[in-house]
Amino acid sequence: MAAFDYVALDAKGGQKKGTLEADSSRQARQLLRDMGLMPLSMDESAKSLKNKSKSSISFFSPSLSTSDLALITRQLSTLIQSSLPIEEALTTVAQQSEDPKVSSIMSAVRSKVLEGHPLASAMAEFPRAFDQLYRATISAGEHSGHLDLVMERLADHTESSQEFSQTVKMAMIYPIILLLMAVGVVVGLMTFVVPKIIKVFAGSGQELPFLTRALVSASEFIGSYGFLVVILLSAATAAFIYAMQQKAFRMRVHKRMLHMPFFKKLVRGFNAARYASTLSILSSSGVPLVEGMKIASQVLSNDFMRLKLNEATTRVSEGTSLNKALAESRYFPPMMLHMIASGEASGQLDSMLERTAKHQERDLKSLITMIVGLFEPFMLVFMGVSVLMIVMAILMPIIDMNDLVM
């Protein structure tokens, strides 16, 4: 709620000043009348304006998680389809939420709607909570008069995006944990176990096998310089992260990733799926194609691919067909281009874009599943070979010692 400074007259004609909290100036005036006061002037307080200014320009302005956004969108979709006014739907969502941040954001959006702003414009006050795709879709629904249908599509899209993101994250967590465990086991053996066992052979005077000598050298290196290596790797990682903040360096890295043997299919597939899904929801909601392409390109994680899609958007605005413009970028799979071309030829581009988006998401999930499936046995083989080499390096001197005794 906003705070308002008011000047009003009481029943005896005396002037009163104060501050009142309300969703809008109109509601504040009504509250004063209910209190038996006649409002003379009503201005939003300086403190409230200052807080609004800070929230609008601050990097730490309120944001919503993907799961919260998906839940809010589904609730709004259901309530609006039930013919509930927008302001009442926003009030219900704000009251139902257990998260104070979500309630605060929805109450602020409701205040803007009560002041006469469109829903999309009200949500623009929180750009980190409601991105450009979200606001453009709602704006298209408001202008077309089919906000209920658009909200339903947007809810489906948001839930699908959340499920897709969770699938990717869960698929990547297991290989990372497995890799860290494998490295930890090997480093632990080399640091704490191997040196104690090797001491048994150090005083025997026998010549150690090459594998044992190599293991001893590796163990001594880890024990002497392991901490330094960790510091150097951390510094290199921090330097890389800092360099990635620079546009020119990030552009070169992203371009290289699109052509690297292992990463290119994953990066291209991930960005193609996001682009097709975003363009599909925008197009089916009535957003013009060129504007939809501009918005859809902003959701890509690869800067170089985004640059190429901006060029494709320019070509489409000049009259080139969508499939030809995307084909010239050379980063989209042939099946996707053929499906888009079929949709343009038949006049059913919206439905074909939706099918393309689902097809790309299925392909990407299959690719991630295959990569995870290959990575697991690779890490098991790596751990097995590492432990086998350590065991062989320890057993070989014992075998040689037995041979000398016999």
Give the whole-angstrom CA distance, residue 72 versus residue 49: 27
pLDDT at 49: 44
- CA distances to 206, 317, 385 from 399, rounded to whole Å, are 12, 77, 20
70 or 145: which carries more pLDDT confidence? 70
147-188 and 264-284 helices, crossing angle to 10° = 160
Q: Could you give the CA distance from residue 20 to residue 35 in angstroms, rounded to a whole number?
A: 12
Q: Which comes out higher in pLDDT, residue 259 or 61?
A: 259
**pLDDT tier at 14 (50, 70, 90 boundaries)?**
confident
Give 26 or 180, the one with higher predicted confidence.
180
Please tell me the predicted confidence (pLDDT) of residue 45.
52
Centre a 10 Å sphere on the Cβ of residue 149 and count the other Cβ atoms it contains.
Answer: 17
User: Is pLDDT above 50 for 359?
Assistant: yes
Closest to 349 (Cα-Cα) out of 271, 288, 272, 273: 288
pLDDT at 48 over 60: no
pLDDT confidence tier of residue 358, bands split at 50, 70 and 90: confident
- Whether 63-160 and 161-406 share one fold: the answer is yes
Quote the pLDDT of residue 361.
81
pTM: 0.65
Q: For domain 161-406, give the CATH number.
A: 1.20.81.30
Q: Residues, the chain, total?
A: 406
- Per-residue model confidence (pLDDT) at position 401: 66
Do residues 89 and 76 touch, judged by C-beta distance below 8 A? yes
What are residue 43's DSSP bridge partners? 5
CA distance 143 to 88: 20
Average pLDDT over residues 306-331: 90
**SS in 3 state form for 208-223?**
CCHHHHHHHHHHHHHH
Tokens matching residue 169: 């994250």
Position 371 confidence tier, pLDDT thresholds 50, 70, 90: confident
pLDDT at 231: 94
Do 21 and 48 meet the contact criterion of CB atoms below 8 Å apart? no
pLDDT at 311: 92
CATH architecture, domain defined by 63-160:
Up-down Bundle (1.20)
* pLDDT of amino acid 53: 47
Which band of pLDDT confidence, cut at 50, 70 and 90, is reported for residue 403?
low
| Confidence band, pLDDT 50/70/90 cuts, at residue 404 | low
For residues 342 and 128, give the distance between their C-alpha atoms in angstroms, rounded to a whole number: 36
Q: Give the model's pLDDT for residue 396.
A: 81
8 beta partners: 16, 39
Domain boundaries, the chain: 2-56, 63-160, 161-406
Residues whose CB falls within 8 Å of the CB of residue 363, separated by 6 or more in sequence, listed in order? 269, 273, 333
Look at 15-24, 139-148, 344-353 and tell me which has the smallest mean pLDDT. Answer: 15-24
Give helix 66-81 / helix 147-188 axis angle, nearest 10°: 160
260 neighbors 266 (Cβ within 8 angstroms): no
3-state secondary structure 96-161: HCCCHHHHHHHHHHHHHHHCCCCHHHHHCCCCCCCCHHHHHHHHHHHHHCCHHHHHHHHHHHHHHH
The answer to whether the CB of 148 falls within 8 A of the CB of 161 is no
Question: Which of 1-10, 156-165, 222-231, 281-290 has the least mean pLDDT?
Answer: 1-10
380 vs 341, more confident = 341
pLDDT for position 46? 47
Looking at residue 368, its pLDDT comes to 79
- Please state whether beta strands 38-44 and 15-22 pair in parallel, antiparallel, or not at all (unpaired): unpaired
Could you tell me which of 261, 259, 364, 242 has the C-alpha nearest to residue 302?
A: 259
What pLDDT score was predicted for residue 378?
83
Span 290-309, mean pLDDT? 87
Rounded mean pLDDT of the chain?
81
pLDDT of 243 reads: 93
Assess whether pLDDT exceeds 70 at residue 228: yes
Query: Widest CA span of the chain, in angstroms?
Result: 119
The 8-class DSSP code of residue 20 comes to E
Among 285, 30, 261, 266, CA closest to 134 = 285
Query: Which residue would you say has higher pLDDT here, 267 or 137?
Result: 267
Q: In a 3-state reduction of DSSP, which class is residue 13?
A: coil
Q: In angstroms, rounded to a whole number, what is the distance separating the alpha carbons of residues 286 and 43?
A: 39
**How are strands ordered across the β-sheet holding 2-9?**
15-22, 2-9, 38-44
Higher per-residue confidence, 324 vs 280:
324
Mean pLDDT for the stretch of residues 149-176 = 79
Other CB atoms within 10 A of residue 178 CB:
18
Residue 209 or 267, more confident: 267
